[in-house]
């Protein structure tokens, strides 16, 4: 049972009642992330996420954690390119406590100077840790390959220089501009008393007002043809190859999900069976979708011996071309539909997963993607829709790439035919 309503201040609320569980998951979604930033304040969304846990007028940082954990619950948050989410999971009897704690963090955080300075050090260490992870570095580099200087390519963590520049005034001004009810969704899923939920939400979020409104807007960046490399003294060469995807909210995403599953999204996929099982070129190889407002990309990742980088890319290119030419059979189409339906439904067996799905859908699309609707869209995938995605996405082939490792850059560029440039 769903209830989607809006408070007078513009806050959208999506409630899904699941009466056979004894838990409830609550998430406050704000349509704000690194894509809403600029070069001077890059990383501020993630910094604010951290600061909301550092103490309020009513609770210390320790009390914020303890009040949820003392009743056996969990509290956490994350920041992405287009959204920030603060969430809890507790027994259903502690729903009001979750609403109380999250609203207190949002409205009453103190932003004391000593906490801001301390958190600068914490996040700079997080940036350093990110630099030690080839996969994280690869993801940031590939964003630049795909979108160039558009804000969607900015790193979520920001840079050490931008982090050092933040102070209380800068943080509070940004919150007043972007952390507004019109940009936000409260998602609740679990064993909820629907008769009182609106009253509870109004009690904790009804007074939320905004005076300086910056409703999120997005560019429509081109998918660029660029290839970048970052040198790291590591054993493997980490590779990310980009194929054109589809934007968030486009129903073509279901067809692309299906084709991705066949091509590289599972251990029975073409890539895994060819590159790993048959040729033994790698341990890990897979593909996945990244869909955002007005843009999207299909990523192909692998990690290989640097001496086998060019050969691996050649094989992936060949398999991609054969995939477009050969297509998929009716039998494979049927099996793939069942696979992605099963993956989707199994993923919704967690209350937190359902809360995340509902919150993200209402935040960006202003609607609920009900499971039965999603299943129907998957069932409707046809050879015509598959041919359309082959033509609009896969047929262009690999458009961009990123590499992290220790290689002879000139040799790799020559062998792959890619104009690979080093990022310092």
Spatial contact of 188 and 25, defined as CB atoms under 8 Å apart:
yes
E-only strand ranges, 18-58: 23-30
Contacts of 135 (CB under 8 A, 6+ apart): 238, 301
CA distance linking residue 277 with residue 288, whole number of Å: 19
Helix axes 134-147 and 113-131, enclosed angle (nearest 10) = 90
Cα distances (Å, whole numbers) of residue 200 to 2, 203, 243, 252: 16, 5, 46, 38
Chain CA centroid to CA 337, Å: 24
**Burial grade of 331 (CB within 10 A; 0-12, 13-18, 19 or more):** exposed
Q: Is 348 helix (H, G, I), strand (E, B) or coil?
A: coil
**Burial grade of 372 (CB within 10 A; 0-12, 13-18, 19 or more):** exposed
Active-site annotation holder among 16, 31, 37, 49: 49
Chain CA centroid to CA 260, Å: 17
- Quote the tokens at residue 284: 């890990």
CA distance linking residue 400 with residue 219, whole number of Å: 20
- Quote the tokens at residue 409: 């850059």
Bridge partners for 369 per DSSP: none
Spatial contact of 302 and 287, defined as CB atoms under 8 Å apart:
no
| CA-angle at 193, arms to 190 and 197, nearest 5° | 95
Cα dihedral 380/382/385/390 (nearest 10): 140
Residue 49 is a catalytic residue: yes
**Catalytic residue IDs:** 49
């Amino acid at each position: 049972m769903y209830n989607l309503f809006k408070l007078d201040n513009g806050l959208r609320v999506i409630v899904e009642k699941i009466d056979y569980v004894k838990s409830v998951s609550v998430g406050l979604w704000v349509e704000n992330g690194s894509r809403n930033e600029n070069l001077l304040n890059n990383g501020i969304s993630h910094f604010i996420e951290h600061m909301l846990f550092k103490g309020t007028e009513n609770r210390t940082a320790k009390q914020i954690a303890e009040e949820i954990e003392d009743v056996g619950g969990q509290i956490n948050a994350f920041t992405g390119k287009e959204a920030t989410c603060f969430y809890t999971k507790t027994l259903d009897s502690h729903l009001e406590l979750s609403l109380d704690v999250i609203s207190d963090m949002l409205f009453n955080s103190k932003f004391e100077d000593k906490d801001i300075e301390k958190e600068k050090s914490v996040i700079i260490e997080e940036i350093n840790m990110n630099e030690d992870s080839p996969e994280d570095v690869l993801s940031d580099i590939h964003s630049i390959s795909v979108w160039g200087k558009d804000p969607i390519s900015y790193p979520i963590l920001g840079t050490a220089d931008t982090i050092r520049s933040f102070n209380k005034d800068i943080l509070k001004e940004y919150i007043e501009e972007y952390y507004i009810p019109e940009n936000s969704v409260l998602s609740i899923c679990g064993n909820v008393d629907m008769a009182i939920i609106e009253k509870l939400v109004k009690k904790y979020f009804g007074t939320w007002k905004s005076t300086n409104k910056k409703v999120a807007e997005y560019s429509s960046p081109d998918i660029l043809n660029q290839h970048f490399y970052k040198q790291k003294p590591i054993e493997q060469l980490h590779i990310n190859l980009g194929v054109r995807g589809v934007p968030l909210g486009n129903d073509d995403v279901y067809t692309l999900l299906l084709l991705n599953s066949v091509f590289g999204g599972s251990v029975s996929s073409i890539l895994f069976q060819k590159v790993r099982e048959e040729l033994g070129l790698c341990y890990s190889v897979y593909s996945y979708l990244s869909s955002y407002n007005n843009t999207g990309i299909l990523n192909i990742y692998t990690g290989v011996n640097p001496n086998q980088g060019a050969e691996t890319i050649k094989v992936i290119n060949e398999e991609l071309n054969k995939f477009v030419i050969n297509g998929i059979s009716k039998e494979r189409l049927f099996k793939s539909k069942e696979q992605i339906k099963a993956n989707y439904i199994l993923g919704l067996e967690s209350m937190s997963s359902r809360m995340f799905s509902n919150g993200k859908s209402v935040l960006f699309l202003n609607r609920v993607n009900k499971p039965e609707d999603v299943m129907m869209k998957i069932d409707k995938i046809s050879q015509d829709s598959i041919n359309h995605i082959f033509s609009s996405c896969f047929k262009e082939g690999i458009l961009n790439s990123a590499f992290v490792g220790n290689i002879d850059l000139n040799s790799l560029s020559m062998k792959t035919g890619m104009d690979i440039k080093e990022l310092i």
